[in-house]
Amino acid sequence: MATIQELVALGERIGLEGDTLNEFVKEQQTIAREDRYKEKEEREKEREFGLKKLELEIKKIESNHSV
């Protein structure tokens, strides 16, 4: 994630200033925050999938041993 200073510098390089620059920085921070949230959700889904897979494997092993 870019720092505020990096976002300001980027905005200034593309000719933004004042309120427009501030809005650009805020928008970029919002986008970064949303991206982090989506990545966190995806990691959680992968973790839950892994746990379900392990549970199924355990049940399969248990059923094979009880036969």
**pLDDT tens string 11-49:** 999 999 999 999 999 999 999 999 999 999 999 999 999
Residue 40 lies in domain: 4-65
Q: What CA–CA distance (Å, rounded) separates 1 from 30?
A: 11
Q: What CA–CA distance (Å, rounded) separates 12 from 44?
A: 37
Q: What CA–CA distance (Å, rounded) separates 48 from 52?
A: 6
| Amino acid in position 30 | T
pLDDT at 1: 78
Q: What CA–CA distance (Å, rounded) separates 7 from 33?
A: 14
Whether 9 has a pLDDT exceeding 90, the answer reads: yes
| Amino acid in position 44 | E
pLDDT at 67: 62
Q: Report yes or no on whether pTM surpasses 0.75.
A: no
Number of domains in the chain: 1
Q: What CA–CA distance (Å, rounded) separates 16 from 20?
A: 6
